[in-house]
Chain A
Amino acid sequence: MTASNGIEVLGLVREFKGGPRAVDGIELAVAPGEIYGFLGPNGAGKSTTVLMLTTLLPPTAGTARVADHDIVAEGPAVRAAIGAALQEAALDPLLTARDHMRLQTTLQGVPKADRRRRGDELIERMGLADAADRKVGGYSGGMKRRLDLALALVHRPRVLFLDEPTTGLDPSSRADLWQEVAHLARDEGVTVFLTTQYLEEADVLADRVGIIDHGLIVAEGTPETLKAQIGRPSVEAVPAERGDRNRVAAVLARFGAPVAASPGAAAVRLEPGEDLVSVVRALDAEDVRVADLQLHQPSLDDVFLARTGRKLDAGDAEAPAPALEEQEVAR
């Protein structure tokens, strides 16, 4: 039984006409008030999953319940319980933030007496009060994303879907949005389903992370658990003399298997029982001077690499899911 603001997904499948299964029988459960980070490479099925869970795309097979409502049989009830900020801030460039709030509060059925107050409250909370009467077309990317989030919150949703909410934002705007999302989950008990291309974002925000690849969830757990599965840290050394790279690599090879390193550097995953001190002593004994020596604890990047065989970076963001009309045609 799904809790009143949780998410439960059982064997969810989505096939597009003439294509592979975009989502191939995923199963997951998100507890009430939890922030669930959904990671995956380009075309892995993240956005397709979000569209299905938000009722904008019917699944080919499987079931899912969001806020205790079936996404197919109880679409309107699901929509009433959720808020969503989908890929790209979907705003009308000709309207102001206040116009957007008025429209959204009206369409969401917020009582007439509360609409203005609720809109102003969210505008204030997102730091948009000074720009509330300016057309959105002139907003920065961060301001648009904050307004997008504010609009998703007007009806006090119990579950919030955020599809790559910080893509294209500068670090400061990203941090602001993280803070707001964390506040929603921790202080207001909102369940957050967050897809992201930024591993750091999932690491910082998510209580649990699911990694999807080729439509299947290949890893799931808390960031700490997943990193612990990778286990051992790695050591990366940059030689002081460029020509010494092979000597550095040879010394490091005594301590573990080579892993990908920065250009001109060498790196290994440390064998059990080995540590940085041993590496420093060995380099010293061989009289190899290094310009930089770093111990890397396992990151979600390592988890991602281990599970999918490739790295995820900003250039590997998921392509947008097909337009709604294409999806309809594909049904």
Chain B
Amino acid sequence: MSLLAQGAEMARRSVLQTLRQPAMVIPPIAFPLILMAVNVGGLQAATDLPGFPTDSYLDFAIAFPFIQGSLFAAINAGSSLARDVETGFLARLALTPMQRAALLLGNLAGVMTVSLISAGIYLAVGFAAGLRFEAGAPGVLVLLVLALIISLAFASLGALIGLRTGSGETVQGVFPLFFVLVFLSSNALPRELIEQDWFRAIATVNPVSYLFEGLRSLVIFGWDAEALALGFGFASAIALAGVLGSASALRTRLVRT
């Protein structure tokens, strides 16, 4: 049986796991939208700041749900794999002819499928609320691709933690650390408008800033090659590191002769 067929079956399982847990479906969709709505309602005045790139805070804030949704994807991926370790399900899989890569591929593909559905909802809500998209329809497609790579990046980090620790609690415990990274980025203001020097310095070295800026550039500026290159570059680098780390952790976990 091919790796793809095995991966597809594992992806189906991953999607079922998520859809059968309302707590894994509703918060990743509702919380980012609620937080975006709060920000849009409270920070519209920020668009009056000299140098703010748009007069609609919604256009600026639409990137937030994609990043926060990716954090939930990380939790889903990590928790699912940790549960497989805890319950011994991994040993059951090890006794089948399944290739190791199929487990990881399936888990991440399943999580990304859910992320894609969430992304569609974020965009639908955004457009309903008056989102303007400078890059047009092709830009929407590029944004979805970037959002999926970001989702893969965080999900693979979650998978790495889940496989390395084998503990769902640890995966959940890491979630706030990811959140700190999000809030210490250019999520609420452009970097150049952050007044505090220390905050701006951290936001500048924080890769999450470039993920925000890559997504945002398509909405606000149209086709900004530098922002897109940095966004895709950092997302791909994190995803590569996460996938390689997860594969290594899986090799250690899934021992068989």
Interface of A with B (CB < 8 Å)?
54-58, 71-73, 75-76, 78-80, 82, 84, 86-88, 90-95, 99, 102-104, 106-109, 135, 151, 323-325, 327-329
- CB pair A88 B87 closer than 8 Å: yes
Q: Determine the chain B residues whose CB is within 8 A of the CB of A325 once the complex forms.
A: 85, 166, 252-253
Q: Determine the chain A residues whose CB is within 8 A of the CB of B94 once the complex forms.
A: 56, 324
With contact pairs A107-B96, A324-B90 given, residues A94 and B257 touching in the complex (Cβ less than 8 Å): no
With contact pairs A80-B97, A323-B85 given, residues A106 and B91 touching in the complex (Cβ less than 8 Å): no
Instruction: Name the residue among A86, A106, A109 with the largest chain B CB count within 10 angstroms.
Output: A106
Q: Which of A94, A95, A324 contacts B91 (CB 8 A)?
A: A324
| Min C-beta distance of B20 to chain A, whole Å | 5
- CB pair A91 B98 closer than 8 Å: no
Count A-B contacts at CB 8 Å.
95
| Min C-beta distance of A323 to chain B, whole Å | 7
Q: Which of A75, A82, A88, A324 contacts B257 (CB 8 A)?
A: A75
B95 near A: Cβ within 8 Å?
yes
CB contact list, B81-131 vs A, under 8 A: 83-85, 87-98
With contact pairs A90-B89, A328-B252 given, residues A107 and B9 touching in the complex (Cβ less than 8 Å): yes
B1 near A: Cβ within 8 Å?
yes
With contact pairs A106-B5, A108-B97 given, residues A71 and B89 touching in the complex (Cβ less than 8 Å): no
Bound state CA distance, A99 and B84, in angstroms? 16
For this complex, 7 residue pairs linking A to B, each with C-beta atoms less than 8 Å apart, are: A90-B88, A90-B91, A91-B87, A99-B13, A102-B9, A108-B96, A135-B20
Q: Which of A71, A94, A103 contacts B9 (CB 8 A)?
A: A103
| Min C-beta distance of B19 to chain A, whole Å | 9
- CB pair A324 B87 closer than 8 Å: no
Q: Determine the chain B residues whose CB is within 8 A of the CB of A75 once the complex forms.
A: 256-257
- CB pair A323 B17 closer than 8 Å: no
B246 near A: Cβ within 8 Å?
no
Q: Which of B9, B95, B253 contacts A82 (CB 8 A)?
A: B95
Bound state CA distance, A327 and B94, in angstroms? 15
- CB pair B97 A76 closer than 8 Å: yes
Q: Determine the chain B residues whose CB is within 8 A of the CB of A73 once the complex forms.
A: 257
Q: Which residue of A lies closest to B93 (CB)?
A: A107
With contact pairs A72-B257, A79-B95 given, residues A92 and B87 touching in the complex (Cβ less than 8 Å): yes
Q: Which residue of A lies closest to B21 (CB)?
A: A94
- CB pair B166 A95 closer than 8 Å: no
With contact pairs A90-B88, A94-B17, A107-B6 given, residues A58 and B253 touching in the complex (Cβ less than 8 Å): no
Q: Determine the chain A residues whose CB is within 8 A of the CB of B35 once the complex forms.
A: none
Q: Which residue of B lies closest to A135 (CB)?
A: B20
Q: Which of B5, B9, B89, B254 contacts A92 (CB 8 A)?
A: B89
Bound state CA distance, A110 and B94, in angstroms? 17
B16 near A: Cβ within 8 Å?
yes
